Each structure stands twice: as C-alpha cells, then as structure tokens.
C-alpha cells in the first residue's frame, strides 16, 4: 500500500462512511417513493433504488477493506499484510453504470421499441467503458494507464453523443414541464461521469504516494455520490412531476373518455 498519513487515512475512511449513509438513506427513499408515482415510472425508481443499494453494499466492503489494510496506533499508521481491494469499485460500476443510463431512459417513458434499443445500446457501451478502465486502474505504468484510459474514453464519448444528439427528439416529446429537468439530468450524468476520467489520471499528472491514493479514493467517492444519489433524486422529481401531469390530464378528461382510456 502507498504510504499515508493518519489524516489521509481518516479522510478516506470518513468519506467511505459518509457515502454508506448517503446510499443507504437514498435507497430507502427511492423504494418508498416508488409507490407514490404513476405505475409507468415505478420501474425507473426501483432501478434507481437498486443502484444506490448496490453502491451502499460495495462501499461497506470498500470501507472494511480499507480499514483492514492499515493499523492506526496514535499518530502512526502502519500497513498490514492485507491489501486494499479496489476492485470492489469496478464490480460496483459494472452493475450500476449501465443501470444509471437505463433509469434515465425508463423515466422518459418512450415507446417500447425505442426503450429497448436505447437501454441495450447505452447499457452495453457503459459495460465496455468500465471494463476497459480496469486494466489501467491496476497498472502502475503510466503508458499502460494512458492506453486504457484512451480506449475507455471511446465508449464514453459515444454515450455523451447519444445523450445529447440521440435523445434530442425524445426529450422534445416530453411534457414541457419536465423537459428542463430531463435536460438537467443529462448534464448531471455527463459532468459527474467526466470526473471519473479526471480522477483516473491523478497519478499520471504529478500526484504521488499517499496524496495520489487519497485523491483517487475521495475523488471517486464524491463522483459516486453525485452520479448515483443526486442523479436519483432528479429521476424521482421527473417521475413525480410526470405523474402529477398525467393525473391532472386524466381528471380533466370527460368521464366517458376516461373509461375508454
């Protein structure tokens, strides 16, 4: 393990602890709120809750692995024989990153054909992106890290293009009251996801030793909170607003029309 100070160790550990609390609370919130939106949006909120549940579990494992890798004795921090297992992050991302894109598509309530096509395409691209990043993450050779970083950026850029160009017409078909929120959700996705490749290159742009280790762990943790919990809140707000709109439209319809619908 990279040499750390006690302060650095505690900063990372506290960041993990905070994230466990955030993801756990978010999971309860999303699952409870899934029963308070229209049936068409319950799957989206259920997927949102699954994302934070998976993240909560993996952060618990990450925090336990981090704690086992060091012994704190007063002002002294000593590495143990146990190695910190950073692979938990990539296992988490393999599951949650595709689901994040799927929940966005589901809450838009597109046609069945369009939903299946976009979920499949974006989900597979997300899997490839995460898989390509892992070999570079575990390498200490800068050239190897840059190679895998570059390869992982290819599916990332395709996802960005699809979110902003491929979904343009789909967003235009959304109720006017939620178009701004859907557009904001895309921006949250892109901006939070852009932080991951930036954190990835910290060890390649001058961060060394414990400083690099701390910056990477805290950086990924902050990005996860925004990309999963904060993103999930936006998904809920979209689902709730669309449910209200549809309820208002249904109430405004003549009784005969409602029965026919």
Distance CA 261, CA 254 (A): 11
Residues 5-9: contacts with CB within 8 Å, 24+ apart? 5/77, 5/210, 6/72, 6/75, 6/76, 6/77, 8/210, 8/211, 8/213, 8/214, 9/66, 9/70, 9/72, 9/77
**Has residue 261 got a pLDDT over 70?**
no
pLDDT, one tens digit per residue, over 77-104 is: 888 989 899 899 999 999 999 999 999 9
pLDDT, one tens digit per residue, over 183-222 is: 888 889 889 899 999 999 988 887 778 888 899 999 999 9
pLDDT of residue 175: 86
Residue of 25 and 180 predicted with greater confidence = 25
Average of per-residue pLDDT values in the chain: 90
**Has residue 1 got a pLDDT over 60?**
no
Find how far residue 221's CA is from the centre of its chain: 10
pLDDT, one tens digit per residue, over 106-126 is: 998 888 999 999 999 999 999
Across the range 144-173, mean pLDDT stands at 90
Residue of 256 and 97 predicted with greater confidence = 97
Topology of the domain comprising 6-247: Rhopdopsin 7-helix transmembrane proteins (1.20.1070)
pLDDT of residue 183: 87
pLDDT, one tens digit per residue, over 29-41 is: 999 999 999 999 9
pLDDT of residue 172: 83
Q: How confident is the model at residue 66 (pLDDT cuts 50, 70, 90)?
A: very high
């Amino acid at each position: 393990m990279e040499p750390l100070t006690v302060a650095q160790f505690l900063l990372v550990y506290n960041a993990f602890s905070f994230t466990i609390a955030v993801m756990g609370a978010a999971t309860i919130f999303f699952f409870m709120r899934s029963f308070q939106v229209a049936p068409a949006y319950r799957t989206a909120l259920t997927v949102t809750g699954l994302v934070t549940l998976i993240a909560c579990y993996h952060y618990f494992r990450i925090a336990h692995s981090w704690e086992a890798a060091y012994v704190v004795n007063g002002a002294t921090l000593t590495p143990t024989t146990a190695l910190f297992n950073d692979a938990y992050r990539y296992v988490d991302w393999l599951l949650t990153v595709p689901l994040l894109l799927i929940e966005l598509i589901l809450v838009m309530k597109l046609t069945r054909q369009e939903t299946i096509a976009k979920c499949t395409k974006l989900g597979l691209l997300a899997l490839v992106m995460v898989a390509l990043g892992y070999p570079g993450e575990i390498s200490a050779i800068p050239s190897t890290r840059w190679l895998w970083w570059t390869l992982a950026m290819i599916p990332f850029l395709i996802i960005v293009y699809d979110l902003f160009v491929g979904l343009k017409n789909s967003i235009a078909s959304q109720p006017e009251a939620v178009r701004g929120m859907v557009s904001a959700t895309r921006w949250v996705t892109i901006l939070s996801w852009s932080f991951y490749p930036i954190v990835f290159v910290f060890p390649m742009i001058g961060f060394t030793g414990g400083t690099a280790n701390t910056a990477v762990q805290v950086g990924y943790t902050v990005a996860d909170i925004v990309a999963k919990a904060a993103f999930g809140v936006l998904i809920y707000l979209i689902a709730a607003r669309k449910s209200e709109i549809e309820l208002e439209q249904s109430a405004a319809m003549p009784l005969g029309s409602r029965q026919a619908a």
